[in-house]
Amino acid sequence: MIPYLHLGPITLPTFGLMLWLSAVAAVVVVDRNFKRAHITADAVGMVAIAVVAGIVGSKLWHVLDTPLDFREEGWRTLWSSAGFAWYGGLTFGISALLIQGWKAKIGALRMLDLCAPAAAIGYGLGRIGCYLSGDGDYGIAIKPVHIFGWTFRAWGTSFPHGLVPVFVPVYPTPLYELAGGLVIGWWLWRLGGRTQPTGLITGQYLLLTGLARFLVEFIRRNPKVLWGMSNAQAASAVAAIAGIALAWWAARRPVSQPVPAVVKEEEAAAAQR
């Protein structure tokens, strides 16, 4: 594991580097999606605001989810390179995008549709930072599975030099989430290439990411707190149900994606010239 890169007198946390890379990837995807939809809004600024909001939300969610860490470490918990709760980031990030979509006259829900592929891909890439730093976001210890006299042992990895050391092979769940995020992002990008009812892509994003996180939580180290589920697993179930409801609602609406006012104003100005 490589929690930090030492470049002479400069020390760089690998988690922070991957967070930056995931933000850059999200900017590229959102910018291309805007261009595909003929939207001239500032993708860089919008993603930057959503990322900052997501970081703040993930830290606050982590404090609420693990108050013991806050009692032991105090305010240092908010500045440490570990302890980022995805659902806090998702909630705050979505809120930031909704507000920006409304202000830019793109439409709050359509804004989420445009950003959904970037969110999935950015999340997946961000998980590489968890893997490299060994921040504790990995799975339970590998145990052999016996099926009809045949023994199967999954591949695992230990994190002896991670920020949260573990010395036995565990499930490398960040790599599973990387693969899931890339596949989900690819699927949502393909959907966006065709005219869809507003909200359908967001609904599928919530369903697929919620389902992926729900499944991976079975082999993660998070404590079970509700009906045998972790907090993240319960939140995943809620997200998946919300995604089904939103996709069902969107599918029953007429297919229409109106041109945003930003584009209309520019076309009118061009016509006058």
- How does pLDDT run across 3-39, given as a tens digit for each residue? 888 888 888 888 888 888 998 999 999 999 999 999 9
Q: Is the pLDDT of residue 86 over 80?
A: no
CB contact at 8 A, 97 and 115: yes
> Which pLDDT does position 261 carry in this prediction?
44
Q: Give the start-to-end residue ranges of the domains of the chain.
A: 12-137+152-272
What mean pLDDT do residues 230-234 have? 86
The pLDDT value recorded for residue 253 is 82
